Structure 1
Amino acid sequence: MTATLRIGFIPLVDAAALIVAVDKGFAATEGLEVELVREVSWSNVRDKLNIGLFDAAHLLAPVAIASSLGLGHVKVPIAAPFNLGINGNAITVSPALHAALMEEIEGDRFDPMATAKALAKVVAVRRKLGAEPLTFGMTFPFSTHNYQLRFWMAAAGVDPDEDVRLVVLPPPYMVDSLKNGHVDAFCVGAPWNSIAVDLGIGHILHFVSDILVRAAEKVLAVRQTWADKNPDVVAALVRAAVKAAEFIEHPENRAEAAEILAQPERIGVDAEVIQRTLTGRLKISPDGTFRESSRYLLVGREGAGRPDPVQAAWLYAQMVRWGQTALTPDGVKTAMAVFRPDLYDAALGNSTPAEAPAAFGAFAGPAFDPTDIRGHLEAFGVGRWKA
């Protein structure tokens, strides 16, 4: 028996496991006939998933949590049985802002505390001169990009709501916005940071793995009611995604995976750019400087595919920190319940669940404890949180 599904995605490399699952036939082997629908904005993906136009979606992890909490839109409980990507974002800045930061920096330019302190100095100079605040693009209010930018800036005392402007832009529009001077910087997933560098209009300042060693980025999301009615289909979808992730993570398959992802109806950029992302070796400046990181994007290795509720708790804590919701025991419980390692384990027949992966490794603040979110929030000076 074949199940027919419509699944929405945004043209980003962290949709790789989903795209490869369909285009390499892993989904078909599991009895799934999948139509992948390319979308431009996260609000489109969320809305079509919530009202049932999509059966599943490539979705920002915080959007899945926000939907389950009823934040920013209607309340639709979401289940995430597979994690499509750990890390994968980067912060890209204009040549002018890069030069200003490098002029002010003290220490290692790849140290996020050093760059955050340099940003604080640039912000202060601009304020003194009466210049417009710097504008940073991010993909959605409920996004890792938003929280990662804020976490980085605030560590050096830059208030992201008072000292700079944060604006929402769909991922494919980031590059043109930087080129046209509408933003001074952005945080987005691959391949759009690399595209800006290749065009000579941006420098990759940080991989997000500089800021958080391990951060859940996108999830395979389904409505909870749909998951309850279609457990076998959910399990088949998870297995297909796991097989695809394993395929992508084999070095000998990355060229083929990049070609699949490069197709116009998928991500639609040069395969070589995508392959850089999959190997973790990225050109970070127009002068040809490269930087390599084994942690730039984890698709399947190091247990990346198995949802970790602690990651959901950290994202919920950021929502509270920046005034998007209040801290409540039910809120924490609801957020953590979105990430479903039980469904992942059931799909793969894991009778002995894997141990929880390593902690976040944030560059600032204490180690995160999901049982003490209040303590986490109290450790930071900048925020919109009210006790």
Structure 2
Amino acid sequence: MTAPLRIGFIPLVDAAALIVAVDKGFAAAEGLEVELVREVSWSNVRDKLNIGLFDAAHLLAPVAIASSLGLGHVKVPIAAPFNLGINGNAITVSPALHAALMEEIDGDRFDPLATAKALAKVVAKRRKAGADPLTFGMTFPFSTHNYQLRFWMAAAGVDPDEDVRLVVLPPPYMVDSLANGHVDAFCVGAPWNSVAVDLGIGHILHFVSDILERVAEKVLAVRQVWADKNPDVVASLVRAAVKAAEFIEQPENLAEATQLLARPERIGVDAEVIQRTLTGRLKISPDGTFRESGRYLLVGREGAGRPDPVQAAWLYAQMVRWGQTALSGEALKTAMAVFRPDLYDAALERVGDGHASPPFSAFAGPTFDPRDVAGYLASFAVGRRVP
């Protein structure tokens, strides 16, 4: 048995593999003693990981990259040997904004380009009327939520820095902020979109898989220097997470997994809400309308657990697009090196895992090619590039 590990997490369903690895005993079977520490904000998780109060963490994939590049905080190189989740976010809007969008929409309401164009019309009407800009909540400046909202809006010419307000809110506070009218919409991970719908205060407008087919959301993150000193522990953690993800993805284990996740000290919401997330069948409106997607959240299937450096490159490209950093070949190389398929493969004693990385595709713009980030970014009309 190694020394006890302290691992931080945020109460979100994409922490499932980490929680189940500990609570179902997969970590113990690997010789690990783990204390899971529930946190509220991503800045807390990042800071405690960076200074060594956490040995590992459930972390936003872009934060791992930003930390390695020294963006927005001190520079602490991070290694991500396992993807905790692919996709899993959704955009939820207030009943008033939903009604306004549906009034303006021309086309399929599940088509993100149609809703983005409707948003552009709503924004223009509000400006003409002298109304305050719409306010959208997202979880962190370096987050998929931020980039997903921006990608969606900008496709219809809505400038996320000029035409609306984007504000940072911890995931568990999103619902209250929508209920109190502090935000008109938010992008957050499960279960908080479903909680808003169940309370009758929100409509899920889009699953992020409508916007980006497959995007790395959360990673199991460790400091690079710690990984170098503790390769066997890293391998054990990866194996435990893989076994947990495989357990979660088996339909016969769904009830047990959701009960583990629902406990107050873990995610702390009704098990039925978590089950909806894991099965990809979500109630999207207070009237009881349901929508289903096999790509809503990937925990272990379709090679989701194996880190893909192309995903890291796309996230870095978003940082460049929105003015968080300048484009640099060296920085791109550093960003891609954060995602560690080599550590994943070594832990499982595999040469690859049999899943070819699919091309990175979205509802708008060209197919992403990490060999030509500049060309990719030049194709977009709206952005905030650093000169």
1:370 counterpart letter in structure 2: P
**2 CA distance for matches of 1:34 and 1:241?**
12
Q: Where do residues 1-387 of structure 1 align in structure 2 (5 Å cutoff)? A: 1-386=1-386
Detail structure 1 runs of 4+ shifted over 2 Å in the superposition.
351-357
Residue pair 1:112, 1:363 contacting (<8 A) in 2 also: yes
| Shift, 1:355, TM fit | 4.5
2:130 maps to a residue whose letter is: G
The secondary structure found in structure 2 opposite 1:213 is coil
In 2, are the aligned partners of 1:214 and 1:359 still within 8 Å (CA)?
no
The amino acid that maps onto 1:172 is: P
Structure 2 runs not aligned, ≥5 long: none
Secondary structure in structure 2 of the residue aligned to 1:90:
strand
Taking the aligned partners of 1:264 and 1:347, their CA distance within structure 2 comes to 32
Structure 1 residues 235, 118: CA separation in 2 closer, same or farther (over 3 Å shift)?
A: same
Task: Measure, in 2, the Cα distance between the counterparts of 1:140 and 1:334.
Answer: 21
For residues 356 and 49 of structure 2, the distance between their equivalents in structure 1, rounded to whole angstroms, comes to 29
Q: Distance in 1 between matches of 2:90 and 2:355?
A: 28
Cα separation, 1, equivalents of 2:39 and 2:121: 39
The answer to whether the 8 A contact 1:95-1:203 is kept is yes
CA contact (8 A) 2:303 2:355 kept: no
Give the aligned residue type for 2:45: V
Per the TM alignment, residue 34 of structure 1 is displaced from its structure 2 partner at its CA by 0.2
Q: Secondary structure at the match of 1:119?
A: helix
CA contact (8 A) 2:325 2:386 kept: no
Q: Compared with structure 1, are the counterparts of its residues 99 and 344 closer, same or farther at alpha carbon in structure 2 (3 Å cutoff)?
A: same
Question: 1: distance between equivalents of 2:12 and 2:92?
Answer: 16
SS in 2 for 1:319: helix
Q: Which amino acid aligns with 1:306?
A: R
CA distance in 1, matches of 2:252, 2:119: 40
Structure 1 residue 252: deviation in Å?
A: 1.1
Cα distance in 2 between the residues matched to 1:356 and 1:3: 36
Percent identical pairs in the alignment equals 88
User: TM-score, normalised to structure 1's length?
Assistant: 0.99
Aligned amino acid, residue 145 of structure 1 = H
Q: Which amino acid aligns with 1:256?
A: E
Gaps of 5+ in 1: none
State the TM-score, normalizing by the size of structure 2: 0.99
Q: Is the 8 A contact 2:302 2:355 kept in 1?
A: no
